[in-house]
Amino acid sequence: MPDLIEFINRMPKVELHLHLEGSIRPVTALELFYRQNPGAPHIDYSELSKLYRFDSLGEFVNGMQRITNNIQSLEDLQRITAELLESLCKQNVHYVEFDCAVQKYLDIGFPLDVIIDSIYTVVKNFQMQNRIVANLNINLLRGHGPEKAERLVQQIIALNHPFIRGIGLSGDEAAVQQKEFTLAFQIAREAGLHRTAHAGESMGAQSIWDAIHYLQVERIDHGTRASEDDQLMDYLALYKIPLTQCLTSNVRLKVVDSYEQHPFQQFLQRGICVTLNTDDPHVFDITLTGEYQVAAMTFNLTALELRQIVLNSIRASFMSDEEKNHMQRMIAVEIDALLSHIGREKTALA
């Protein structure tokens, strides 16, 4: 296991299910709170951490609103983006697709092109100085309703920004059914935007079927409760529909009772294209490196299985086929060289 942990620490990684607003460092959250609430009583870290404790997805959504309501400027977005990319670079993440709930900032009064360019400026600077590639998916929130989602998709299409690869749908599945967003996703599909949706998190397997049939998504965010339906698992494997799994998020939000009861290994063994991700890293106090370590220890995964999960993430990404092929070759070579190097180190020590 020490050799495997060392391998995980050093191996190149890919992250596909990551919310920008869920990446706010606690110290940053406090600073934003005090700026928006001058003269407010002192809040220490332990009190702030209470906002990061949830017993249900509904509580999580409400808690996140309280935290993210203090994001009021483009500089705030840039700071959060820079802090996120800094953390990812330290973990040797070579590719990331993160999402941003831009409707909030549109409602404040910022134009879409200004919002996207503000984030993209930070990304370009990091890409010039670090070995990381980042793309953006726009997060449509169920709570905003289907009409607002449709208008936002139209704006995204009109902007035609190369940084934006697709759209996603998140929020409480129980609040608004998947089919309500059929038109928004149809508009996106016809314009060539990639599509994903949270499903099978708070709701059961039918939510995943609905995301596939009504929204025609290319991948499923979470999809944890697909384990309740054998036919669905066979379908996901047959049609290579990826699941962006987030183990710690699922445990913290009580989608599953424990890591050991998570169906991740079952999905992997059935040939489903599963990936590992953090969802909201600072909210759930997890890193992508940590998520790989949890998976390895919980499910007794081998280095080759971890390699497969990383390569799954590349296939599940919204990169072009050419970009995927290049990234897959590069990462496969790097992982294989790392495995060989660690093996030589172990032999030398013996």
| Rounded CA separation 330/266 (Å) | 29
Q: Are 292 and 245 in contact (CB under 8 A)?
A: no
Instruction: Give the Cβ contact number of residue 86 at 10 Å.
Output: 12
Q: Are 66 and 107 in contact (CB under 8 A)?
A: no
Please indicate whether residue 260 is annotated as part of the active site: no
Q: Alpha carbon 93 to chain centroid distance?
A: 13
Q: Which residues contact 120 (CB under 8 A, 6 or more apart)?
A: 136, 161, 163
Instruction: Give the Cβ contact number of residue 89 at 10 Å.
Output: 16
Nearest to residue 267, comparing CAs of 292, 293, 249, 240?
240
Strand spans (E) along the chain: 13-15, 93-100, 133-141, 164-170, 194-199, 219-222, 243-245, 274-276
| Rounded CA separation 315/91 (Å) | 20
Could you tell me the end-to-end alpha-carbon distance of the chain, in angstroms, rounded to an integer? 16
Partners of 220 in the beta sheet? 197, 243
- Of 201, 228, 291, 305, which one is the catalytic site residue? 201
| Phi-psi domain of 169 (left: phi exceeds 0; alpha: psi -120 through 50; beta: other) | beta
AA letter at 39: G
**3-state DSSP assignment of residue 175:** coil
Q: Alpha carbon 124 to chain centroid distance?
A: 20
Instruction: Give the Cβ contact number of residue 1 at 10 Å.
Output: 9
Output helix, strand, coil percentages for the chain, rounded to the nearest 5: 60, 15, 25
Residues with catalytic function = 201
